[in-house]
Chain A
Amino acid sequence: MLIRPSGEDLRIIGFYLGRIFYVVAAFTGLPLLWALGGREWAPASSFVLTIGAFALIAAAATARPPREKALDWSHGMVVVALTWLVVPAVGSLPLALSGHLANPLDAYFDAMSGLTTTGLSLVQDLDHLAPSLNFWRHLLHFLGGQGIIIAALSLFAGGAGLTLYYGEAREERILPSVTSTARFIWGVSLVHLIFGVAALGAIAHYVLGFSPIRSLFHGLMIFFAGFDTGGFAPQSTSVGYYHSAVFEAGAAVLMVAGAMSFGLHFALWRGPRRADTLRNLETRTIISTFSFCLIVVFIGLATLGLYDGVLGLTRKGLFHVLSAHTGTGFSTVPSSELAAWGGLSFVGIALAMALGGMASSTAGGVKSLRVGLTLKFLKDQIKEVLLPENAVVSQAYHQSGRKRLTPKVSQAVMLVSLLYVAMFLIGGAVGMAYGYPLQDALFESVSAGANVGLSVGITDPGMPALLEVTYLLEMWLGRLEFVAVFSLVGFLLSWMRGR
């Protein structure tokens, strides 16, 4: 029997939602300041409206505070799922009012793509979008990549932290408390922001000859999109705009940094046990899958004969496999050229996108730890079949120390991995129903569901609305790794049918 949520349940959920919206409203002040500084009056007024909308919803949600502020598991999951649904809706206001998007659904798609660090975009005439609006799109990457909840937890926590933290698809508590972990994640990001923007800005200024202000702008935008494995870019031709191998290498460093788990960042930061990270199952898995995908793409591209010479093949192949595997979605070729990557090169890129980066990173996809554990489980099963009946197969693996692969963990890992595969296939089927070829439909679906953002051209302002909604849901489900969304569905069912 389903139990209907009480008024107190709703007040608890509203209370925490409201606090998170206040934090997001504060962040929206940054593009407002940018717009005022740049005398962009129309975007400035749309940001004022957005801040007002966030504050109004927050005030309404916290109007009747709960008696007990303890947040249980189901409350936390519902708060997380709703946060990731409502923030892009309100955050899409400046985009919808800009005139660069065909309708409010397109604006919501773009904001959801930004927040979930996907990078698929429906903005028209991106090259003439106001800088403050471009900053807002990239700031959404930063907020979503770090985790909106992480942002809120850095400022407030109490007993609510743990369930919200795990709900946002973070498995690893790096430091003893959730608040200190959240602050560490922001510390890592801010330090990378300083070095990343300085490096990219210097390349833009000294190598590409950009003016200092323009170098800073492009450095900042590419940092947000690269470190948070988002994939938006200030120009419609993505990173291809810069025509620079050095700039691509700089962006690649940030993509690698973003796809590394914050636990690995912490291990590198602490120092004493750096070598130990190479023994981790997750590190070994991502090195193996990345190498495999790269070789497959190289063979595919060499067979197609699209790029001449070793340098051309390495530059295009390596950058795109790195972009796909880290879940970033930067591209140096147009969508039409990417669509021509058939055969093995398609398999390699699609596989890299689906596998994704490390768990507890800013990347999407199935995640390397799950892939590693699935392969380990399969290997153990085969061993058990082949060895004598009384032989004992070790089910231990190394991941920041020796761990045991219990049946419960195996089941959970396989379940989430299967859900990802099912989601990719359903998205692909919807694309095929609209007449897109299997290869293109599957590519775009994997790109949306794994929060990557590479496109073969299906995602454009003229795409069917149902397909747009499908990709929207894939981005949401993929970013939250299903559990929080399923909890919200369960909560709504209990509300409607419960007693």
Chain B
Amino acid sequence: MLLSVRRGPPMAEIRRERSRWTYLAGGLWVFISEAVIVGVAIALALAAAVLVLWIV
């Protein structure tokens, strides 16, 4: 509330786009994206741990 209020796109735009996706397919895509984010984080963390252990 104390941040600038961010408004979403107009309803007409949402209606136009709604036909292109369904909630479930869109949700699966988002879920897979989050799994990829965690996968990338694990890979980068492994690399960082190797570096830290090597230095320390």
Contact = CB atoms under 8 A, between A and B. Distances in A.
Interface of A: 166-167, 169-177, 180-181, 187-188, 191-192, 194-196, 249, 252-253, 256-257, 260, 263, 265-266, 268-272, 291, 294-295, 298-299, 302-303, 310-311, 313-314, 317-318, 322, 359, 369-370, 373, 399-400, 403, 406, 409, 412-413, 415-416, 481, 483
A314 B6 contact: no
Contacts of A311: 46
A310 B50 contact: yes
Contact of A253 (B3, B4, B38): B38
B28 A195 contact: yes
Interface string B5-47: 1111111001001001101101111110111011001101110
A14 to B, nearest CB: 23
Contacts of B28: 191, 195
Given A268-B29, A295-B52, A299-B56, A314 B3 contact: no
B48 A192 contact: no
B4 to A, nearest CB: 5
A175 B14 contact: yes
A269 B3 contact: no
Given A175-B8, A257-B34, A400-B6, A269 B45 contact: no
A175 B31 contact: no
Given A252-B38, A257-B34, A195 B27 contact: yes
Contacts of B1: 166-167, 169-171, 481, 483
A416 B2 CA distance: 8
Given A175-B11, A256-B34, A298-B52, A187 B6 contact: no
Interface residues on B, range: 35 or more
B31 A317 contact: no
A314 B49 contact: yes
Contacts of A266: 8
20 contacts: A171-B1, A171-B5, A172-B6, A176-B7, A176-B9, A181-B8, A191-B23, A194-B27, A249-B42, A256-B41, A257-B31, A266-B8, A271-B20, A298-B45, A310-B50, A373-B3, A400-B6, A409-B3, A415-B2, A483-B2
B3 to A, nearest CB: 4
Given A191-B27, A249-B42, A256-B37, A263 B6 contact: yes
A478 to B, nearest CB: 14
B49 to A, nearest CB: 4
A75 B22 CA distance: 38
Contacts of B5: 166, 171-173
Given A171-B5, A176-B10, A192-B27, A318 B42 contact: yes
Contacts of A171: 1-6
Given A175-B14, A188-B30, A257-B34, 8 more contacts: A170-B1, A171-B4, A177-B11, A263-B6, A268-B29, A270-B26, A299-B56, A318-B42
Nearest to B56: A302
A19 to B, nearest CB: 21
